[in-house]
Structure 1
Amino acid sequence: MKINHGPNLLSTLQVKASILMRRFSKRNRMKPTISSFQVGFCLSLIIFSALFACGKKQITSPTDSLYLSGELKNATPESQSINPDMLTEAFQYAGDISGLRSFLVVRNGYIVGEKYFGSASADSIYFVRSVTKSVVSILIGIAIDRGLILDEQQELSDILDLASMGIDEAKGRIKIKHLLTMTSGLEWSCW
């Protein structure tokens, strides 16, 4: 036996579906938002990338790389092939970004410019939580791409001169993988 509900059932279902869709979309409509911190962070990355890409020298082997074992030294923008007018313009632009606290430009291991906004200073510490994972992942990816690090299984003792940094041998056995997954066992209790 064939049941025919006819056009009335179909139109009734369409009307009910239409009403439900309107109610749902009005109630759950989300306006896209982006915070000033997100805008500032993205613009800082873009500006830094543009300034970083202006140079001619490329790191071709691990011996050309910089191993940080203390404070970075300052240099003039010109000595590191950076246009000082563009750097000044970048700092002025960065100063207009709400929520941005600092802007540091490092080229070839030298600080070529730094600017702090609001109450921030070179000694300010920020609770950035998971941003650390993203930054570490980006930097490790760049280092692997440039051949400075073999892969994520490499130990810190293969990469860093731990003795000159005053770091014990046990920490030298920490692998890059541990840093990427935040399972190194290192404790940071500044907060």
Structure 2
Amino acid sequence: MDRLRKHIEEIVKLTDDEFERVKSFFTSRRVKKHQYLIQGGDAASYEYLILTGVFRMFYLDEDGKEYIVQFAGENWWMTDYQAYFGDKTATLHMLCMADAEVLCTTLNGRETMAAEFHKMEHFFRVKLTNGYVALQRRVLSLLSGTPQQRYEEFGKLYPQLMQKIPKKYIAEYLGVSRETLSRLYSR
């Protein structure tokens, strides 16, 4: 839980008593490679803070084609937010790509933390805002960027993920073929 405190305190400072209360809303979970935390059609009961490991979140269309929405590595938050906040079933899948450890919190826990501590409300707002900005940047990149630009931007923004994610999935995320990615990589 020391990692949780360090993560939170990158944005807000907590007293020892405040942190004791905050950490009571989290549970730790170990996840094996190829294990799902969320599958389409299930409830998205938890939001996850990734402590170790790498995850991929994707959508499967009716034909079984996979569309990668995002990756998450250390200190990233992830869930199917539409399902989590909307009390709906998940449309996205969240799959572990390397053995991992995560911290989980429920929406009720999150809302209670925010209600009890303005600091935590601020923390979660900053995290959601940063996530929204990253998603907007991704959409704009897909709409107007060349494959080369998308590849360079991904490498610049997420160098640690470039080393941990198989090229097949990076190509899929960037919207290019594996062959095109190989050409981009060799440049």
- Is TM > 0.5 for Structure 1 vs Structure 2? no
| More contact order relative to length (CA 8 Å, sep ≥ 6) | 2
Larger radius of gyration: 1
**What is the TM-score with the length of structure 2 in the denominator?**
0.30
